[in-house]
């Protein structure tokens, strides 16, 4: 066994359910509340050395996620984070960077306890396979995309890594929200099928109407700008909020595991 501890039976947090108005154009309905299925603790045991080694895989959003998690846990020596992100990459363009191959290598290294995956941002394009193009969002594209996502999740789990697949956050209207909601729905389904936890970041970062807003009101009622002008990425303070959603999910699982042992 390569990992420092084994995961227990996992469950997914599914927030988005995709559907098609027609075969060529994805649409999305209003997001339902996340569904939590309570089973055994997601984490089975604390690392022998008491330190959780976390590896973050993904695209440019993973860069910011690493930045935020590092800042949030700067005074907590029980967490060590390592960034393995590559900007402008995803599951589609394996010719540019092969995340499936990278995931196998990371998993087999035995260096980490937790893997956080943040992919999908650059995947609204054709999949080229065996000399043929499968255009987004055709059935051929979807079939191959699901297969790649499943393989990545399975490879990370194979060595005992606890896996968190972070959903794409809500984006502005100019940044293809229906398409990203569609991809999120696929990834949430894959997470459920492979037994990894899908962390919804779309719903928590939406406004009271469930829509995109570049501003966020904190628990003290203070409003701050958290999104960049591209309507996708975050400001430094925004990445703290974005990372906080994932941080909370991990720490809740650690607390549940500790309470059960």
How many residues are there in the chain?
261
Answer whether residue 153 shows pLDDT above 60. Answer: yes
Residue 13 belongs to a domain: no
In-domain check, residue 1: no
* 209-223 average pLDDT score: 93
100, part of any domain: yes
Which structural domain, as residue segments, surrounds residue 126? Answer: 18-260
Q: Tokens 């947090």: give the residue.
A: 13
Kindly list the strands in the beta sheet with 114-118, ordered across the sheet, starting from the edge strand earlier in the chain.
Answer: 79-85, 52-58, 114-118, 162-166, 197-199
For the residues 150-161, what does the mean pLDDT come to?
97
Residues 86, 59: contact at Cβ < 8 Å? yes
Cβ within 8 Å of residue 18, ≥6 positions away: 26, 28, 181, 182, 184, 185, 186
Question: 216 forms bridges with which residues in the sheet?
Answer: 224
Structural domain contains residue 8: no
pLDDT 10s digits, 75-89? 999 999 999 999 999
Q: Over the stretch 243-257, which tens digit does the pLDDT of each residue have?
A: 999 999 999 999 999
Residue 197's DSSP bridge partners are 164
Distance between CA atoms of residues 75 and 245, nearest Å: 18
Q: How many CB atoms lie within 10 A of CB 46?
A: 17
Query: 3-class DSSP state for residue 127?
Result: strand
Decide if 90 is inside a domain: yes
* pTM (predicted TM-score): 0.85
The tens digit of pLDDT for each residue in 6-63 reads 333 333 333 333 333 343 445 444 444 444 444 689 998 899 999 999 999 999 999 9
How many structural domains does the chain have? 1
Report d(CA 101, CA 84) in Å as an integer: 13
CA distances from 69 to 148, 175, 182, 214, 232 (A): 27, 25, 27, 21, 19
DSSP letter at 174? G
CATH code of the domain covering residue 159? 3.40.50.1110
Please check whether residue 12 lies inside any domain of the structure. no
DSSP code of 130?
Answer: T
Cα-based angle 139, 141, 146 (whole degrees, multiple of 5): 95
Tell whether 4 is covered by a domain. no
Residue 106 lies in a domain: yes
Q: Lowest-pLDDT range, 88-102, 109-123, 206-220, 234-248?
A: 206-220
């Amino acid at each position: 066994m390569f990992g420092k501890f084994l995961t227990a039976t996992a469950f997914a947090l599914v927030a988005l359910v995709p559907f098609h108005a027609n075969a060529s154009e994805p649409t999305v309905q209003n997001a339902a509340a996340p569904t939590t299925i309570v089973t055994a603790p997601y984490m089975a045991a604390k690392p022998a050395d008491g330190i959780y080694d976390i590896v973050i895989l993904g695209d440019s959003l993973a860069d910011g996620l690493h930045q935020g998690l590092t800042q949030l846990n700067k005074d907590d020596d029980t967490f060590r984070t390592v960034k393995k992100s590559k900007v402008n990459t995803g599951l589609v363009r394996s010719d540019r960077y092969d995340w499936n191959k990278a995931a196998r290598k990371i998993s087999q290294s035995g260096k980490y306890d937790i893997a956080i995956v943040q992919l999908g941002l650059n995947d609204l394009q054709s999949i080229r396979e065996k000399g043929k193009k499968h255009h987004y969002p055709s059935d051929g594209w979807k079939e191959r995309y699901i297969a790649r996502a499943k393989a990545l999740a399975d490879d990370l789990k194979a060595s005992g890594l606890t896996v968190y697949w972070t959903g794409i956050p809500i984006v502005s209207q100019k940044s293809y929200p229906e398409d990203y909601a569609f991809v999120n729905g696929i990834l949430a389904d894959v997470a459920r099928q492979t037994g990894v936890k899908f962390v919804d970041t779309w719903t928590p970062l939406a406004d009271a109407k469930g829509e995109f807003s570049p501003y966020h009101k904190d628990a003290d009622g203070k409003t701050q700008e958290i999104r960049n002008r591209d309507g996708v990425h975050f400001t430094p303070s925004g990445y703290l909020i974005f990372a906080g959603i994932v941080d909370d999910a991990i720490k809740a699982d650690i607390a549940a595991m500790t309470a059960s042992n």
